[in-house]
Structure 1
């Protein structure tokens, strides 16, 4: 018996010892856990910056786009409506200013409910605890998380003031629909700043905080309204809302249409207007600042975007595609792009990269490289003017093949003749004139000027470059035309002007970039010639479409009608348009740029130039307008108004037997009204000889035998095939001869009957 008692006693001692050691171990472990939690809470109790939304403002200073990981815009407590603070405290933490992070009353009530339910169904968390959870902890309800939450909250209360904690909470908490913080929520749901919230709006936001995935208006409008009215009753009960105001606020319906996806003024997020502009801007910002800073840094970007013109641009492109697709079902996959920019600053107002960003984000305005066709020719003609040519320079023998390294080449075209002035060749878009002109100017010279005008794409050194076989992007070709509209200075395209941090401090100024690409005289002469393209050339559709302001531009069409271009401008706005299929194929039968692209350009430009005056470029001092005799191509004298060679002008005549005798040609008759005997042309000052027309100007009478009458001129004669025929019928032949001194002269001959 004694042995049995001793054994039981020893067993009991062993058990008690084991329990004691186990308890001691667990107590020690718990102490270490608490100590570790306290240490972790101290480290976590930091109000660190949260990801901020980058806001893009349009050219008028209004929010347009956002870039973000979390849609959040931090504000100070002073920038939040007082009714928002009252509503939040009424429903989430009535004793916020009276506790030290933990509310014993709420904790006791919550504990009793949890014990009865045998699980955690109510947290009793204060705003400080909610901030700790939102910033650092999992939302899963466990006793361990509640312990950590309480410790972090205690540390936060020790480290920060109540105002700092409340401000951090308002900027951190999630309000549903991807909106973080009260400012983002206010803009997203109501399209206004948090400082402007009305009491019923503040009550709705405070109501959402508890369970945004359950109580947000987008989930259940009935629950959202019920929760909102609960908050209003609590505010009334706490003396923060008079009865009359409560009744009025509770009776108001929820906003008819909430648009929580957009912080840029509350526009419909399903409206994809500006998507191509936004994406191109994002790419440029990421290249400048990095992806992390753009998506999390809360930048303030001031862009050149014009929402009205952007919408007009997209409507012009999509509308034209729809029209063409109705006539040609194969064109259902037709794409189009548009770039419109300020001629002087390079600011891009509108950018369209395709018919639908949701279907294809590939930007055909900035990324697609396509052959420009005749839209490239102005670059060639500008290079010629820079090298001393003038609009009146005649290009002859245009029906003669051009020799290349491997074969001869004679391009085809819609408007070809044996000779053209440079002005007329550009107006009708003669391929043969362009090809010959490049032979004279030089391919490398043309490429040099293309680079000066802003063409960065590599161009092929081939004769066909004159016809636009080099591939370029729409944005760089459009920017090249700014030199014509900006007195010879090319303006680089610019999508934003400056970037600030979330604190308003300037981080980057995107200054205008200009290059003196051409002389002012060349730019003016090019604008004069390109205006003829619209008034009587390949772009007369501009006027047919109802665009009335003075303008200039050039169409472009590639082989098989695969690409249709039109780049045109007024003194203020330069706009380029392109149409084609992503895999080059004919757009439509005879789908010229003037047919396909011009209507869309005119439609957009009517919207882009509303309120603009009908003004044109002022002639620079280095350019003069000269009256030219159509028969001789020289400066016109008073007698050139008549359509014949007067009798007092002796002309050398070649006799039938080789003898020379004095005589006068018969009158020249039959010039049509459309071909007046005198016309005006512009030249660089000093480029044209001061000598008057040798056919009509009075000359001293020498009598006797005359040799050929030769007049020195620095510009070739500018006769037409019709006038040449009339001269031949009268027995007069006008020849252009270049002497060994390099001077071009007119030689007039007549056979003696």
Structure 2
């Protein structure tokens, strides 16, 4: 005969545990029963001995049926009729539990005996005992020794002591009468355990237990049983996510969560929202990831899972929302990878138009010329959009695609608005991206299951150099003002760029003030904070730096303080690590193997300093990649001592050499708009020759029309603007089409030409006689 199927219909619970084995949640099996599968080697010897002694002392000696026990049971039940005795062996009980046989009458008992013999013919004693221990009833909807041990005593069955083991051993014989959760049930349970203790002593003697105490002394201590209603329900959104992504997980699942971290972050969220409730935002989500191990150590999906008024069961960690400006760092990283900028490159923050898209800054103002680092940490929109428009392959959309951002529409659906949060992402996706910066360009997926071996697939999406430079830029972002929250929570913050443990971070604010973000990382953790309302209600207080950053820094400083204290008391010999060559961001770049160097940069221009640059600063650059060239803004010009005008040439005694700033016309206009005065060169003397004027001058550069574009007309004639960037002392630009003069313009003011279809050579010539030319093609639609 084939082997009988044992409990093949059975489904199991899952015990979700934190990294240290603390229970987060115990789920129900499909039949609403708590039932955990375990192996015989994972059950304490005391429980196994107690169960065999109480239920089937000769288990290893019979072939499934103890006929002498059956005879005694028949005699007492049907002949003497003094009490009902079952006489079932452990194998017979497995037969009954597995098949549902009614063994309360003689035919059923005979069927049970035959089935037990059949089981014994095909299964080992260990397999039968394992099946038995996994399906014993322990009262209510609790089955199996592992579930009973975890629920009642908050420990696995392997850790049961003798007193606890004997208590659990006697419950299955009468689980309703001996329920440990009622007063009378507890009394009956203790009485049955006392009888088992007597059997134990007769069989094994008076064993010692614990610190030289007799076994009976431990049995005088009360046992504390936990009710299933008291089971923990920790990290609810995280466990729900695991259930959705791993629906067939069984038994004990050791997750990446660290319960102390989880509770710490939940407390910070609750405290923060309580102290800021007058500001109108009612919810927050937080995610903490260890970028050394890529393990998620805390996952706070909402402020209160059970609060329906805030839609608390919605998971803010996986929900798609506008990320605001939190994606800007990746534009700068790509731009540095592609040789467009270095950290101190001068960028333009001016009103700009990109086809039909006209971006604006958050404050509706413009900073004019601004270096890349300041543009990033002050979150200027226009410079970021300008950089994004210049990116080649990969661009920001392609980087997000490679990083696994889901539910993306076609690239042209977003255009350049992706930089400012036009594409929705989840907090989990953002944390992955920032972890890539922390891991020097290596993109890795997060780990939700704890393992001593780091098994993470790596995909390099940025060079280590550009990722590290972005980290350096973001770490200069100062911490937000914390006075209100610090007073309320007795917390204090230092600057965000602390030399000991810098935090590289960025804020984000979505359109219409629906979402406030703060995301960043230090040498170990990536932390993301979202503050808002799940109903999408706008609120002018929902600004990243004001709403999310205070909570972000309170959590991060708490983490850093805890980490320092832990490092002081924890011995390196017992410190558990599973990092696979983790990046230590506190090391200098040469020890990280980075191809970066520091050079002197002219502070005002972002170029290599010429001999007349008034002030230099140190800037990182990537040799062979970063756009490093010598600037021509600061020039020494001869000035006539008597007239004060610019001389044609230097004549010692008659002229002196003074340094002036020769900013191109577009930047000169930005300085004027920003109210910044620059030292302009004086006019030339009247008798200077053209070749003298152009000796140190910078040639003009045509910016409109754009080189390589074809311009289409809807009418027979339409006006097309001609515009060029001119040197600082140029007063006019002269325009020619195919050698024919068509007009002149002044700096920062275009010349409008009545365009006609055709192919032309467009040339501009400035006052110094310097020129620039492009080919222009105009077509009729």
Fold in common (TM above 0.5): yes
Residues 688 and 372 of structure 1: CA distance in aligned 2, closer, same or farther (over 3 Å): closer
**Paired residue secondary structure (2:619):** strand
Instruction: Please give the alpha-carbon distance, in whole angstroms, between the structure 2 residues aligned to 1:735 and 1:424.
Output: 30
Q: Could you tell me whether the CA contact under 8 Å between 2:636 and 2:659 is conserved in 1?
A: no
Q: Could you give the per-residue CA deviations for residues 501-527 of structure 1, whole angstroms, max 9, x where no partner exists? A: xxxxxxxx9831222222233223322
1:637 is displaced (CA, Å) by 6.0
Pair 1:518-2:465 in alignment: no
Q: Could you tell me whether the CA contact under 8 Å between 2:636 and 2:660 is conserved in 1?
A: no
Find 1:423's aligned residue among 364, 373, 378.
373
Q: Could you give the per-residue CA deviations for residues 542-598 of structure 1, whole angstroms, max 9, x where no partner exists? A: 9964575301111011133210111111133222121222220035x4221112211
Instruction: Please give the alpha-carbon distance, in whole angstroms, between the structure 2 residues aligned to 1:240 and 1:436.
Output: 85
Instruction: Please give the alpha-carbon distance, in whole angstroms, between the structure 1 residues aligned to 2:459 and 2:246.
Output: 23
**Paired residue secondary structure (2:536):** coil
Instruction: Please give the alpha-carbon distance, in whole angstroms, between the structure 2 residues aligned to 1:541 and 1:550.
Output: 21
The residue aligned with 1:269 is: 231
Specify every segment of 5 or more residues in structure 2 that has no aligned partner in the other structure, as ranges: 568-583, 640-647, 685-695, 708-723, 732-781
Instruction: Please give the alpha-carbon distance, in whole angstroms, between the structure 1 residues aligned to 2:444 and 2:127.
Output: 48
The residue aligned with 1:248 is: 217
Q: Could you tell me whether the CA contact under 8 Å between 1:732 and 1:748 is conserved in 2?
A: no
Instruction: Please give the alpha-carbon distance, in whole angstroms, between the structure 2 residues aligned to 1:680 and 1:218.
Output: 71
Instruction: Please give the alpha-carbon distance, in whole angstroms, between the structure 2 residues aligned to 1:708 and 1:147.
Output: 112
Where do 1:540-551 residues align within 5 Å?
Answer: 545-546=493-494, 548=498, 549-551=501-503
Find 2:270's aligned residue among 318, 330, 333.
318
Pair 1:618-2:588 in alignment: yes
Instruction: Please give the alpha-carbon distance, in whole angstroms, between the structure 2 residues aligned to 1:441 and 1:537.
Output: 35
The residue aligned with 2:35 is: 71
Instruction: Please give the alpha-carbon distance, in whole angstroms, between the structure 1 residues aligned to 2:380 and 2:170.
Output: 72
Where do 1:636-675 residues align within 5 Å?
Answer: 636=609, 640-641=613-614
Where do 1:101-500 residues align within 5 Å?
Answer: 101-103=64-66, 106-107=69-70, 110-111=73-74, 114-115=77-78, 122-138=85-101, 141-157=104-120, 165-176=128-139, 178-219=141-182, 220-238=185-203, 240-241=205-206, 245=214, 247-255=216-224, 257-258=225-226, 269-270=231-232, 272-286=233-247, 291=248, 294-295=249-250, 298=251, 301=253, 303-325=255-277, 327-328=278-279, 331=281, 334-358=282-306, 362=313, 364-387=315-338, 388-396=340-348, 398-400=350-352, 402=353, 404-405=355-356, 410=360, 412-413=362-363, 416-441=366-391, 445-458=395-408, 460-496=413-449
Aligned length: 640
Residues 277 and 702 of structure 1: CA distance in aligned 2, closer, same or farther (over 3 Å): same
Residues 618 and 696 of structure 1: CA distance in aligned 2, closer, same or farther (over 3 Å): farther
RMSD value, Cα: 4.7
Instruction: Please give the alpha-carbon distance, in whole angstroms, between the structure 1 residues aligned to 2:349 and 2:222.
Output: 80
Q: Could you tell me whether the CA contact under 8 Å between 2:482 and 2:550 is conserved in 1?
A: no
Residues 125 and 403 of structure 1: CA distance in aligned 2, closer, same or farther (over 3 Å): closer
Residues 607 and 738 of structure 1: CA distance in aligned 2, closer, same or farther (over 3 Å): farther
- Which structure would you say has the larger Rg? 1
1:183 is displaced (CA, Å) by 4.1
Q: Could you tell me whether the CA contact under 8 Å between 2:493 and 2:557 is conserved in 1?
A: no
**Paired residue secondary structure (2:478):** helix
Residues 80 and 412 of structure 1: CA distance in aligned 2, closer, same or farther (over 3 Å): closer
Q: Could you tell me whether the CA contact under 8 Å between 2:441 and 2:461 is conserved in 1?
A: yes
Q: Could you tell me whether the CA contact under 8 Å between 1:521 and 1:623 is conserved in 2?
A: yes
1:60 is displaced (CA, Å) by 5.6
1:616 is displaced (CA, Å) by 3.6
The residue aligned with 2:547 is: 596
Instruction: Please give the alpha-carbon distance, in whole angstroms, between the structure 1 residues aligned to 2:445 and 2:658.
Output: 58
1:476 is displaced (CA, Å) by 0.7
Q: Could you tell me whether the CA contact under 8 Å between 2:438 and 2:585 is conserved in 1?
A: no
Instruction: Please give the alpha-carbon distance, in whole angstroms, between the structure 1 residues aligned to 2:364 and 2:674.
Output: 23
Residues 718 and 253 of structure 1: CA distance in aligned 2, closer, same or farther (over 3 Å): farther
The residue aligned with 2:650 is: 703
**Paired residue secondary structure (2:180):** coil
The residue aligned with 2:749 is: none
Which range moves more in the overlay, 445-454 or 112-121? 112-121
Q: Could you tell me whether the CA contact under 8 Å between 1:635 and 1:693 is conserved in 2?
A: no
Find 1:628's aligned residue among 597, 601, 606.
601
Residues 144 and 120 of structure 1: CA distance in aligned 2, closer, same or farther (over 3 Å): farther
Q: Could you tell me whether the CA contact under 8 Å between 1:87 and 1:203 is conserved in 2?
A: yes
Q: Could you give the per-residue CA deviations for residues 102-123 of structure 1, whole angstroms, max 9, x where no partner exists? A: 4556545544565589999543
Where do 1:21-32 residues align within 5 Å?
Answer: none
Pair 1:91-2:42 in alignment: no
1:311 is displaced (CA, Å) by 2.4
Pair 1:685-2:623 in alignment: yes
Q: Could you tell me whether the CA contact under 8 Å between 2:513 and 2:542 is conserved in 1?
A: yes
Q: Could you tell me whether the CA contact under 8 Å between 1:438 and 1:446 is conserved in 2?
A: yes
Please identify which structure carries the higher helix content.
1
1:317 is displaced (CA, Å) by 2.8
**Paired residue secondary structure (1:212):** coil
Q: Could you give the per-residue CA deviations for residues 439-479 of structure 1, whole angstroms, max 9, x where no partner exists? A: 44489933123334443341542343332121111111121
Residues 177 and 160 of structure 1: CA distance in aligned 2, closer, same or farther (over 3 Å): same
Specify every segment of 5 or more residues in structure 1 that has no aligned partner in the other structure, as ranges: 1-38, 262-267, 500-508, 642-676
